[in-house]
Amino acid sequence: MDRFLEEQLKRIQDLASRMSGLEHRATEITEEIVRGARAAERNPLREVRDLRAVTSLRSHPRAHPHAHAHTHDALRRRRRRKRS
């Protein structure tokens, strides 16, 4: 019986420790959100980041001016073959 109670006590202590850590992290996140909101009020563009992916013009299929015409013609030829 004592062993069971010791295990339960340890489990409760572990859970209490985890909860304390979560409460601390929640407080940090709340403070970070408040700081971000205050910074945005002062200068809304300061926190803006460009998150678009940079792609090479060569890797983009429509980078070449005739690329669309070429793919369009190829699709038209495929459609004609399917109809036959």
- Cite the DSSP H helix spans in 1-84: 2-42, 67-83
Distance of alpha carbon 41 from alpha carbon 35, whole angstroms: 10
pLDDT digits (tens, 9 = 90+) for 59-81: 555 555 555 566 667 667 766 66
Q: Give me the percent of the chain exceeding a pLDDT of 70.
A: 61
| Contacts of 57 by beta carbon, 8 Å cutoff, 6+ apart | 63
Between residues 47 and 29, which one has the greater pLDDT?
29
Whether the per-residue pLDDT at 58 is higher than 60: the answer is no
Residue 47 has pLDDT above 80, yes or no: no
Question: Residue 5: its pLDDT value, please?
Answer: 95
How confident is the model at residue 44, as a pLDDT? 65
CA–CA gap between residue 74 and residue 66 (Å, rounded)? 12
Of 38, 19, 37, 16, the residue nearest 27 (C-alpha): 19
Interatomic CA distance for residues 79 and 52, integer angstroms? 35
